C-alpha cells in the first residue's frame, strides 16, 4: 500500500507578536504524527509540536544536534549553528560522547550555589543600568537601555572581562545580535572582534590565573585553550539575546497583568509563556526513527518547537493564560535532555532581580506606545522585541 504524501506547510510561520506562539501551532498539534514543512530555502523538515513528542525527540540518541550531518535544518539567519572547523568548542552542535566532555567541565560553573554567589554582582549591574536610565530622563527604550545590556554585562563578569573593557564587549555583542539594526558585514566584524578579544582573554588567564571561570576551566585541562574561545563565544551568544528578549517580553506581560508584579513565580511562567528559543533546538535523524507514529528517515531534519510544546493543553491547563500560580517547571523553554540550557539557573536569578528592581525602583513604569504598536521580531531564530518604549 502506498502512503499518501502528507500535506506540506510553509515554515517558519510569521509570528503575530502577541499572542505568541503563532495560532497555527495549535492546528499542527491536532494532526496525527508530525507536520512536514518547507523552509524558505526549499528544504523539507519535520515539525514536532506536542510536549510529549518534543521531549522524546530531544532525548533520542538516534537524533543528532550536529550541523555537519546532511539534512540538518537550515532555518536561515544569523544564530545558525557554526561547524566545529569554524568555531571549535561550539559544543551545542556536538553529540555524545564528544559533547559530554564540555558539558561535564561546565556544569560546576552553573550550579545553583555558584549562581547564588553571583547575586550581588548581578544586583549591582541591574542597579547601575537603572541609575543610568533614571538619570537620562523619564522615558527609555527598555530593550536597548536595560534588557540587552544586563545579560551582556552579567556574562562579561562571568567570563572575567575586566570592568574597563565591558563597554567594548557590550557594544560588540549588541551588534552581533542586532539582526535588523546591523548588516551582515557589521555582524561578521563584531564576531571577529569578540573572538579575538576572547582568545586574548584566554591567553591572559593562562599566564595570570585568577579565581574565575576561564582560569578554572584552563586548570581543569579537559578543554584545550583554542576550544575554550569557542566555548566562551557560545556562552556569550546563547545567553544574550535569549535572556534579553525574555526580560523585555516579560515586562510587557507584567504590565498587562500587574497583579503578578512582585511575585517571583512570574519568572518561570514568562519562560513558558514566551518560549523565546522556539527555533533553537534543531536536529537531524541519523537513523530511521519513529516519532508519534511517523517514520522519520535518517538524514531528515527535525525542528522541535518548544513554544508549541509549552502551549500544549495536554500538558498545561489553559496554556494561553499567563498564570504564574501554575506549576510550569516541566516546560521545555530551556530545551530538554543532554543539551538542556546550561545557563538556566543563571537566567532565573537574572530575571528575578531584573523584574524586582525594575518595578521597585520605577513603580510608575508604563508602555509609551500601545501594546499593539510594539515591533516584534517576526523573523529571528529567537522571538522578541526590536524595541520597548517605556515612560514613567
Q: Which residues bind ligand HEM (CB under 6 A)?
A: 65, 91-92, 103, 155, 234-235, 238-239, 242-243, 246, 276-277, 280-281, 306, 333-335, 339, 341-343, 346-347
Least spacing, CB of residue 307 vs ligand HEM, in Å:
10
Adjacent-strand bridge partners of 389: 141
Nearer to ligand HEM by Cβ, of 49 and 243: the residue is 243
DSSP tag of 36: E
Least spacing, CB of residue 335 vs ligand HEM, in Å:
3
Least spacing, CB of residue 236 vs ligand HEM, in Å:
8
Cell 586548570 sits on residue: 219
Least spacing, CB of residue 279 vs ligand HEM, in Å:
10
Nearer to ligand HEM by Cβ, of 319 and 392: the residue is 319
Least spacing, CB of residue 350 vs ligand HEM, in Å:
7
Quote the CA–CA distance of 199 and 205 in Å, as a whole number: 10
Q: What is the distance in angstroms between the CA of the first residue and the CA of the last residue of the chain?
A: 67
Nearer to ligand HEM by Cβ, of 139 and 212: the residue is 212
Cβ–Cβ < 8 Å for 264, 279:
no
Least spacing, CB of residue 250 vs ligand HEM, in Å:
9
Least spacing, CB of residue 20 vs ligand HEM, in Å:
13
Q: Of 115, 243, 226, 121, whose CA–CA distance to 173 is shortest?
A: 243
Backbone angles phi, psi at 125, to 5 degrees: -60, -45
C-beta nearest to ligand HEM: residue: 343
Nearer to ligand HEM by Cβ, of 142 and 238: the residue is 238
**E strand intervals along 269-364:** 283-285, 289-291, 294-296, 301-304
Nearer to ligand HEM by Cβ, of 229 and 281: the residue is 281
Crossing angle of helices 225-256 and 344-361, rounded to 10°: 40
Q: Of 337, 317, 300, 339, whose CA–CA distance to 55 is shortest?
A: 337
Nearer to ligand HEM by Cβ, of 99 and 391: the residue is 99
Quote the CA–CA distance of 163 and 165 in Å, as a whole number: 5
Nearer to ligand HEM by Cβ, of 121 and 369: the residue is 121
Quote the CA–CA distance of 266 and 345 in Å, as a whole number: 15
User: What sign does the CA torsion over 181, 184, 186, 188 have?
Assistant: positive
Quote the CA–CA distance of 158 and 109 in Å, as a whole number: 9
Nearer to ligand HEM by Cβ, of 278 and 300: the residue is 278
Least spacing, CB of residue 282 vs ligand HEM, in Å:
7
Quote the CA–CA distance of 189 and 254 in Å, as a whole number: 37
Least spacing, CB of residue 349 vs ligand HEM, in Å:
10
Cβ–Cβ < 8 Å for 73, 304:
no
Nearer to ligand HEM by Cβ, of 133 and 276: the residue is 276
Cβ–Cβ < 8 Å for 154, 247:
no
Quote the CA–CA distance of 79 and 89 in Å, as a whole number: 16
Amino acid at each position: 500500500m502506498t502512503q499518501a504524501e502528507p500535506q506540506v506547510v510553509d515554515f517558519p510561520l510569521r509570528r503575530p507578536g502577541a499572542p505568541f506562539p503563532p495560532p497555527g501551532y495549535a492546528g499542527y498539534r491536532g494532526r496525527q504524527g508530525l507536520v512536514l514543512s518547507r523552509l524558505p530555502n526549499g528544504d523539507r523538515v519535520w515539525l514536532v509540536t506536542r510536549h510529549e513528542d518534543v521531549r522524546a525527540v530531544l532525548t533520542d540518541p538516534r537524533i543528532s544536534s550536529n550541523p555537519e550531518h546532511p539534512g540538518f535544518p537550515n532555518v536561515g539567519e544569523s544564530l545558525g549553528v557554526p561547524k566545529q572547523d569554524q568555531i571549535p568548542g561550539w559544543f551545542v552542535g556536538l553529540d555524545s560522547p564528544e559533547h559530554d566532555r564540555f558539558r561535564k567541565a561546565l556544569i560546576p560553573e552553573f550550579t545553583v550555589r555558584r549562581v547564588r554567589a553571583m547575586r550581588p554582582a548581578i544586583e549591582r549591574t541591574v542597579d547601575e543600568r537603572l541609575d543610568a536610565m533614571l538619570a537620562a530622563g523619564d522615558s527609555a527604550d527598555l530593550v536597548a537601555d536595560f534588557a540587552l545590556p544586563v545579560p551582556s554585562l552579567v556574562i562579561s563578569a562571568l567570563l572575567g572581562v575586566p570592568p574597563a573593557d565591558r563597554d567594548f564587549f557590550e557594544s560588540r555583542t549588541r551588534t552581533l545580535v542586532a539582526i535588523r539594526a546591523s548588516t551582515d558585514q557589521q555582524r561578521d566584524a563584531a564576531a571577529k572582534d569578540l573572538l579575538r578579544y576572547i582568545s586574548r582573554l584566554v591567553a591572559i588567564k593562562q599566564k595570570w590565573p585568577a579565581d574565575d571561570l576561564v582560569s578554572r576551566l584552563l586548570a581543569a585541562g579537559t578543554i584545550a585553550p583554542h576550544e575554550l574561545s569557542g566555548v566562551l563565544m557560545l556562552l556569550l551568544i546563547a545567553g544574550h539575546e535569549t535572556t534579553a528578549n525574555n526580560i523585555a517580553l516579560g515586562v510587557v506581560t507584567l504590565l498587562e497583568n500587574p497583579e503578578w508584579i512582585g511575585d517571583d513565580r512570574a519568572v518561570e511562567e514568562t519562560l513558558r509563556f514566551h518560549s523565546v528559543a522556539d527555533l533553537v533546538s534543531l536536529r537531524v535523524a541519523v537513523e530511521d526513527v519513529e516519532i508519534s507514529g511517523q517514520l522519520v528517515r535518517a538524514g531528515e531534519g527535525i525542528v522541535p518547537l518548544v513554544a508549541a510544546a509549552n502551549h500544549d493543553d495536554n500538558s498545561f491547563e489553559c496554556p494561553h493564560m499567563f498564570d504564574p500560580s501554575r506549576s510550569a517547571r516541566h516546560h521545555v523553554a530551556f530545551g530538554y535532555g543532554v543539551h538542556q540550557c546550561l545557563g538556566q539557573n543563571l537566567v532565573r536569578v537574572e530575571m528575578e532581580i531584573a523584574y524586582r528592581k525594575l518595578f521597585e525602583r520605577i513603580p510608575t513604569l508604563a508602555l509609551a506606545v500601545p501594546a499593539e504598536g510594539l515591533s516584534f521580531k517576526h523573523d529571528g531564530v529567537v522571538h522578541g522585541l526590536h524595541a520597548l518604549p517605556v515612560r514613567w
